[in-house]
Structure 1
């Protein structure tokens, strides 16, 4: 098995079993390419429905962004709800957002049903703003309650700064239903549940060629092949050129995460909440205490550059210390990167390429809940249980723009950073 990259998650991995590569010929109802959250959830839903499944991964279960992310599980998509309402209308947007809530519930149910204690679920996600705008936060809270029956708690500036001792923050919305987890342990536990249900997973098995235009599809690796009625492509940010139409639709975007050394006292003085924290900027920071509050996991920043930048840890640490100057003496233990899969429209790409050929990818920026619902609706479409997959039809496989598209994505991100900076510099502390 190709080893995982060095990260906090690999150092605290509970299940280190290696799975063999594919050898010879296998038959199944469904072949899934990619053993990240999307592929694994699809496989789990299908095995529960009585379908035989083979999952192939070029590396290992959860090797990519699924095993390297911040671990936040909350509703929504990378594209905001207001934007969806303007594009689709209120009712289609409502249905899509409700699916995103269901995706969060899927993860919670899996952790409960399969007793995934190593997923280390911690309840609560706090969304903060770095400028004074309580009215906007209250409107968001009221809209989610009214249209989606989803309750959030509003925190004023005093409450927010009592829990997060930083002058960067003003108001916040606390979500008690959302939570954060150890994502790599969750991915490995999903794989174990699939295998317990009869599914087969092969690591170190890169799909190199396909035959998709016949009733029986064939996916070939260097040492074997899978024959199946259906094929699901779920490669995410590591989608290669096996299916050019999928590759041309993806913008692989790098994101970055660090873990600090043990510093329980310093962290407790600054971050007085075990909930995960994220701000509302497109160029956002997100973080959470791990190891019972002894370490801080901090993520943020994205680039269109897919190679690891020099001075990665210093880059992330700068954001941490700007937010919490009192943590200036807390050292970084390690930092890592992973590739997220973005589409130009910032929504998941979930649908059918042709008869028996499906895709479930494009979850960058908000993946834990959306991969879950993506896997479920693909499984429902394959089994004929529902056509809910059609709700994602407006967000197809738009061309990513090639090299110019990647450059445009980077420029767009820089523009978001500039707008974030301008908004925050105009922010003023309320006088009363």
Structure 2
């Protein structure tokens, strides 16, 4: 029996469907996808539109992992500058990767429009600087994007930022009209309905226990087996150690969100008049937005150790109040979290294992949009058009140092350094 969705504002405001049945017996198909989150479902849609017979295996419920719990923010570009990426893959391919990242947002918008996915999609995003150094970095980022032909950003000074966000915390910001936010669980459930309308078969409560990733791939669950021509691994942070070849190249990181009681339209609108999503530029960042029912959703505190703080709700509330002391009397109705996957280089990984197994993982905070392009690229590669997939696969796939036992302690120490850098 799959687990229920963790309690969250998302789960309480989504139209949760009845459980889909688990896999039973042997099933043959063209492509088997492991994981019914954004990556797996976009890949399934792209393949089904090309005429492929697709089966999706989900260990729990559709969107049960990061796809149904994240901050819902649609972010332009990568977590690294195009200049940094050019140092890895060369300028020409770095520019191609930039255009692929822009295509990701177009795919998302097209899916929402074409399949009528009601997910509160809103365009507009504010990247806010807490200190001059961060503002300088935002200006450099904006100039780099302008050099790539991206003209959807605007620099805001302290006064203009204060008009957009009801806090004195920031020295300035960049408004990006090409980024935005949505209701993540509604979006992933809408993707599932879209996939099924195209003939995709989705099995919930079907945890994969064994995989064959060679020339004759297969996926085995407790009650059945899928025998496909191609295999797609889309479990990301929740794939665990099932596939050792790629497990050491991502690190599951817990991130958390709180939601206030309904504040009323006037009070909620006063916090962020435009309704845009907001994030600061700390390495360990804070991100927030208001909801359609006039709550304030504030995300931040992370855990790299795998252990949740016992005072998690109170700690996030204290952080929120440093920015918005006017919410002192607001009750906290929700507190939830989940795991996202980061990579050493903080950019997504796509690749192959053997001749017939593909994977995408490690979105490092940019997964709402980036999953869309990665799904399309894997579908193109399976269909025999791998040129764009191979460009994306050139991003380095460095493993985390320390192996299975030491990589978490090493990352915790590294994050302590970055947290100190944010504070100083």
TM-score by length of 1: 0.93
Query: In structure 2, what is the equivalent of residue 426 of structure 1?
Result: none
Query: In structure 2, what is the equivalent of residue 308 of structure 1?
Result: 308
Correspondences of 1:143-182 after superposition (within 5 Å):
143-182=144-183
- 2:405 is the alignment partner of 1:403: yes
How far off is 1:137 after superposition? 3.7
How far off is 1:272 after superposition? 2.3
Query: In structure 1, what is the equivalent of residue 336 of structure 2?
Result: 336
Structure 2 unmatched runs, 5+: none
User: How many angstroms apart in 2 are the aligned matches of 1:94 and 1:281?
Assistant: 26
Select between 295-304 and 125-134 the one with higher mean Cα deviation.
Answer: 125-134
Cα 1:409/1:189, change in 2 over 3 Å: same
User: How many angstroms apart in 2 are the aligned matches of 1:51 and 1:269?
Assistant: 49
User: How many angstroms apart in 2 are the aligned matches of 1:244 and 1:396?
Assistant: 17
- SS of the equivalent of 1:242 reads coil
Cα 1:163/1:178, change in 2 over 3 Å: same
Query: In structure 2, what is the equivalent of residue 189 of structure 1?
Result: 190
Query: In structure 2, what is the equivalent of residue 372 of structure 1?
Result: 372
1:279–1:285 contact (8 Å) kept in structure 2: yes
Cα 1:148/1:408, change in 2 over 3 Å: farther
- 2:96 is the alignment partner of 1:95: yes
User: How many angstroms apart in 2 are the aligned matches of 1:311 and 1:140?
Assistant: 36
Query: In structure 2, what is the equivalent of residue 65 of structure 1?
Result: 66
1:33–1:233 contact (8 Å) kept in structure 2: yes
User: How many angstroms apart in 1 are the aligned matches of 2:392 and 2:422?
Assistant: 30
1:141–1:151 contact (8 Å) kept in structure 2: no
How far off is 1:323 after superposition? 0.8
Aligned residues: 419
Query: In structure 1, what is the equivalent of residue 219 of structure 2?
Result: 219
How far off is 1:326 after superposition? 1.3
- SS of the equivalent of 2:248 reads helix
Alignment partner of 2:414 out of 412, 415, 422 = 412
How far off is 1:306 after superposition? 2.2
- SS of the equivalent of 2:29 reads strand
How far off is 1:396 after superposition? 4.8
How far off is 1:167 after superposition? 1.4
1:40–1:191 contact (8 Å) kept in structure 2: yes
Query: In structure 1, what is the equivalent of residue 38 of structure 2?
Result: 37
- SS of the equivalent of 2:376 reads helix
Select between 357-366 and 226-235 the one with higher mean Cα deviation.
Answer: 357-366
Select between 341-350 and 144-153 the one with higher mean Cα deviation.
Answer: 144-153
- 2:361 is the alignment partner of 1:361: yes
How far off is 1:135 after superposition? 5.4
2:255–2:339 contact (8 Å) kept in structure 1: yes
- 2:6 is the alignment partner of 1:5: yes
Query: In structure 2, what is the equivalent of residue 351 of structure 1?
Result: 351
Select between 72-81 and 120-129 the one with higher mean Cα deviation.
Answer: 72-81
Query: In structure 2, what is the equivalent of residue 27 of structure 1?
Result: 28
- SS of the equivalent of 2:254 reads strand
User: How many angstroms apart in 1 are the aligned matches of 2:82 and 2:410?
Assistant: 23
How far off is 1:175 after superposition? 1.3
Cα 1:398/1:146, change in 2 over 3 Å: closer
User: How many angstroms apart in 2 are the aligned matches of 1:354 and 1:102?
Assistant: 28
How far off is 1:420 after superposition? 1.3
Q: Cα RMSD over matched residues?
A: 1.7
- SS of the equivalent of 2:232 reads strand
Select between 90-99 and 344-353 the one with higher mean Cα deviation.
Answer: 90-99
- SS of the equivalent of 2:170 reads coil
How far off is 1:86 after superposition? 3.6
Cα 1:282/1:73, change in 2 over 3 Å: same
Deviations 1:159-216 (A, max 9, x none): 10112121111211111122210011110110111111011000000011123334x3
How far off is 1:154 after superposition? 1.5
Structure 1 unmatched runs, 5+: 423-432
Query: In structure 2, what is the equivalent of residue 425 of structure 1?
Result: none
Cα 1:148/1:306, change in 2 over 3 Å: farther
- SS of the equivalent of 1:230 reads strand
Select between 403-412 and 312-321 the one with higher mean Cα deviation.
Answer: 403-412
How far off is 1:279 after superposition? 1.0
TM-score by length of 2: 0.94
Correspondences of 1:239-388 after superposition (within 5 Å):
239-264=239-264, 265-292=266-293, 294-388=294-388
User: How many angstroms apart in 1 are the aligned matches of 2:170 and 2:406?
Assistant: 36
User: How many angstroms apart in 2 are the aligned matches of 1:254 and 1:79?
Assistant: 21
